[in-house]
Chains A and B, each alone.
Chain A
């Protein structure tokens, strides 16, 4: 390698190393707490003398009064996330198909209203949403969370699906019409199979959004047996005698599924979700 090449490498490392430390430090610290015995977690050491999986055992066996409902709360998170993913797919795919392919009257207006919802900060909608769920009698019911998160996930999903859908050739619809296919047949037999990559991206997006959400979950759900793992972690914090190492262990467990799901569907996610953004 020549001198200039070495200089370029050095410059890249000068950016790369701080980026690595910056990205990994909070995650490393989380892991550090999870594998440290109780008395060593707070010693400020960079690696415990005796790493242990004891904390995981305590969490998995629910052997602490904060963790009495660990598995149930994990299930709640999963149930809500999957329900939001599926519901968003149903709502958004139908809307995108109607707007983009069937050119339904008023479709443009609906698209604009959806975009408007997408741009309004979610925290601004949280208070009215909370009051509304009270009016509907849905507070402390997991459906309030599922419906609220679908409302938040749907606009972007419709937009991304519409962008992808607009790119499908128009001849496809015409050919289907010539063959006497009904709109529903076109939707199910032609449109859905062609849209599969975008549908995977959107389903994953909505699922992760719901799994990771804290604010809405904490406003809409409150019973220990109803809440998601995220809310349970927040409740830990409210107490003075919180077992920090267990809190961090539970946090690490809570963070793993979305990371795994993201990496599994990464190739769909990156293409599907950034394609629309670049256009503008």
Chain B
């Protein structure tokens, strides 16, 4: 369609320049492949704006689709509706102060984000972390992975037409929230990790609830498998939909379950093990098909692996301190703060100045978050605030893949494909 035609119909009223450039770029996409535009005599072509307020887009994602009948000819994504400038905020906060912001990046798995920031800061400032803290973090990360995958499962199956399934997965997520409540004292945005360890030790009650969950959850998972694994409707909606070939996945930078569903088993937990992932046994589920169904199987198996990891962690959980006992590197324990003058001073210093990595130091540390590789690049100028903090967000990279994945698909499959990619806009928009 011609740009002028689109603009006459759409008649934008806000951010006019932005809308114009967006439609322009939609028109320019694949221009080399296009034959002569015969003026669309049957008027089957239209431009459809999906989002930013669309229930199936998992947040504020806007898709501009050019349709020919029911087929998507080409598509452009418009993101940034949730842009809060967290990287700018980070440059004006101490490292520990910035952590609550990371909770709100990928708000479906806050624990992974906390750990990603902490491990990066620990790497640049060479802070030792006690053994027990590593294992507690691993338990938290894997619970977060299950929680995130449960939300993906519920919404994706709902996108494919089964509403009640969403309620069932949310019942299980609710249990994880309760476990998180007992671990960290918060249900949703936990902020439990601290630089040099974690905020507080696991209580007996928390241990009990984790064990209870680990025992009960595989049974639920089995029920999900029973319902979906051979479900004809589910297969017809997902099989051979949104196929991403291995070489395309690597070239376009797909990450996490997207890449593993396309046949490349890249997992940061195996490539460069952090925490204590080298000490536990787990497999990296990989599928070759690259369609939505493959992503489904990959994520389902990942939940099994997570349970396996948590069980091993519970067995191996060593006793000992949960935070490094060096007042220059980590917050002192609350007992010290309340009952000794020194502890009070150290606590104040940590809050006011924070930890200061060496001047000019740079580091990048990535963790495998539920969505894929989540990396933090930090450059220090020797003060308590980072000079530059860059977040390498997996949802951002996976959304980039979506832009080309949708071309040639049916418009009815859009929501299922978005569901299969599982983007979180809080993370993609920074």
Q: Do A and B come from one complex?
A: no
Q: Which residues of A pack against B, CB within 8 Å?
A: none
